[in-house]
Amino acid sequence: MAYLLPGDSGDWEVVIGLEVHAQVVSNAKLFSGAATLFGAEPNTQVSFVDAGMPGMLPVINSVCVEQAVRTGLGLKAAINLTSVFARKNYFYADLPQGYQISQYELPIVGNGTLTIDLPDGSSKAIGIERLHLEQDAGKSMHDQHPTKSYIDLNRSGVALMEIVSKPEMSSPEEAGLYVTKLRSIMRYLGSCDGNMQEGSLRCDANVSVRPKGATELRTRCEIKNVNSIRFVQQAIEYEARRHIEVYESGGTIGQETRLFDSAKGVTRSMRSKEHAHDYRYFPDPDLLPLVLDPAMVERIKAALPELPDEKKERFVRDYGLSTYDAGVLVADKASADFFETVAKGRDSKMASNWVTGDFFGALNATGRTVEDPPVSAADLGAMLDLITDGTLSGRLAKDVFALMVETGKPPAVLVAEKGLKQVTDTGAIDAAIQAVFAANPDKVAEVKAGKDKLIGWFVGQVMKSTGGKANPAMLNELLAKKFKE
């Protein structure tokens, strides 16, 4: 069902294109040998090249090139064996050279596709226009001093991949799914860690609207540097509504660059970008055209890991999971790997339920990650075995799991320590039922007289008296028999 925003004159469609800036995973910067780690002391990861000192020259980092190729292949995109670096000229405090080395007419990666999975189970292919390599700028901080801005060039020169989508998204939700999927693919490839809080992934959203059914594109505005998926969605929605309001009151939208104020939930015009920038792009004369060896591209292609879409298909096919469950598990490679370890030689549906349910819940509660989990895949698997062999009921398993999370001990140890083996001895259960009956004759009479809803109470009481260990199925069976007596 299409996303439409209502207006006085009718419904409006939203047209969204996203430009994502992804910091490349590499040890050193794109054109200099300085380090790229986050959070270092100011100006300690800056070479003379990054500082734009007189006479300094760029030399390209081979791994950054490979990561761009890898990402392009992950987006099923065309790899341009010849590409050119161009200078984008403008003045800003965080841009030491007075230009950014980027790519303009001939980027390293061309057209590709990214598929998003919508909640209704359908898929939508979003076109990728291009991917190019460029330098990141330094950081300027404006709140350290009343009259001065502070400049740290640690980030200056770090490699970025700019991934430009075609304007084919039509709702904030689709935009969110696009970023999520893109992030997931790059994390699978190891080309970007997708850490939006640290700024490894930033989005610029291009938004325009048009009356429902129209085909021409109206003027778009660009919302720059949004650093969370939630904010991307909020910003798009606000901006679309703003455009509609302007159009419906008879105004026009001028092309502008805006910022999203996440505190107020609004976009506003960037004062520093009043006039359109003339970037005066030209091929960087300090760099020759980048020519890729086809063998290198093939080598990267052959070594690509299984990507989320392929993995999801395999999970559905080989593990019999629903598309939805498979989708949840493959969103993150570490989760998918965790699941497969747990599911190996076991009931995959059970494994999927436990991983996506209790296990993910435990991650949230403890603030831990799949890479550093409170319960290992081996231990979770062992616990599932204890369910399958009857040692644990589903209910007991939940208790055991909670203890595993808390203590880190394997299930067998905890079962032994706490004597949590489920009671399947009919005699024992019977005795427990007898005891509860004896203590509550009036209630027994009520059930026998037809008050069925009290049966649940009896189940609870017997369960409590056995320390939760009674096998539920057996309990229900014996209780029913007992009531019939």
Between residue 349 and residue 388, which ones bind another protein under the rule CB under 8 A? none
Q: Which of residues 15, 114, 131, 153 is near another protein by CB under 8 A? A: 153
Strands 257-261 and 221-226 come out as parallel
Q: Cβ atoms within 10 A of the Cβ of 9, count?
A: 10
Asked if 48 and 275 count as a contact pair (C-beta separation under 8 A), the reply is no
Asked if 241 and 5 count as a contact pair (C-beta separation under 8 A), the reply is yes
In the bound complex, what is the minimum distance in angstroms from residue 190's beta carbon to another protein? 13
Could you say whether residue 81 binds another protein (CB under 8 A)?
no
- CA 422 from chain centre, in angstroms, equals 39
In the bound complex, what is the minimum distance in angstroms from residue 250's beta carbon to another protein? 30
Could you say whether residue 481 binds another protein (CB under 8 A)?
no
- Nearer Cβ to another protein, position 287 or 459? 287
Could you say whether residue 468 binds another protein (CB under 8 A)?
no
What Rg, from alpha-carbon coordinates, does the chain have?
30
- Nearer Cβ to another protein, position 106 or 334? 106
Between residue 113 and residue 142, which ones bind another protein under the rule CB under 8 A? 140-142
- Nearer Cβ to another protein, position 27 or 434? 27
Between residue 93 and residue 112, which ones bind another protein under the rule CB under 8 A? 93, 96-99
- Nearer Cβ to another protein, position 189 or 400? 189
- Nearer Cβ to another protein, position 103 or 335? 103
Could you say whether residue 57 binds another protein (CB under 8 A)?
yes
Q: Cβ atoms within 10 A of the Cβ of 170, count?
A: 16
Could you say whether residue 299 binds another protein (CB under 8 A)?
no
HSE toward the beta carbon, residue 5, CA cutoff 13 A:
23
Q: Which of residues 14, 16, 18, 84 is near another protein by CB under 8 A? A: 84
Between residue 230 and residue 259, which ones bind another protein under the rule CB under 8 A? 259
The two three-digit tokens of residue 220, written as one number: 């778009």
* Number of residues counted as binding another protein (CB under 8 A): 71
Stretches 151-159, 182-190, 426-434, 450-458: which one binds another protein (CB under 8 A)? 151-159
Interface pattern 19-38 for another protein (x via CB under 8 A): -------xxx---xxxx---
Rounded Cα distance, 423 and 430, in Å: 11
Q: Cβ atoms within 10 A of the Cβ of 41, count?
A: 8
Give the DSSP H/E element, type plus range, for residue 23.
strand 11-23
Q: Which of residues 2, 8, 91, 274 is near another protein by CB under 8 A? A: 91
Rounded Cα distance, 281 and 110, in Å: 19
Between residue 384 and residue 413, which ones bind another protein under the rule CB under 8 A? none
Between residue 264 and residue 283, which ones bind another protein under the rule CB under 8 A? 270-272, 278, 280-283
Could you say whether residue 152 binds another protein (CB under 8 A)?
yes
- Nearer Cβ to another protein, position 270 or 334? 270
Closest among 233, 259, 227, 254 to 243, alpha carbons compared: 254
Q: Cβ atoms within 10 A of the Cβ of 357, count?
A: 12
- Nearer Cβ to another protein, position 56 or 246? 56
Closest among 62, 33, 67 to 158, alpha carbons compared: 33
Could you say whether residue 59 binds another protein (CB under 8 A)?
yes
In the bound complex, what is the minimum distance in angstroms from residue 268's beta carbon to another protein? 9
Asked if 109 and 77 count as a contact pair (C-beta separation under 8 A), the reply is yes
| Alpha helices, H only, 359-454 | 360-366, 377-388, 394-407, 411-418, 426-439, 441-448
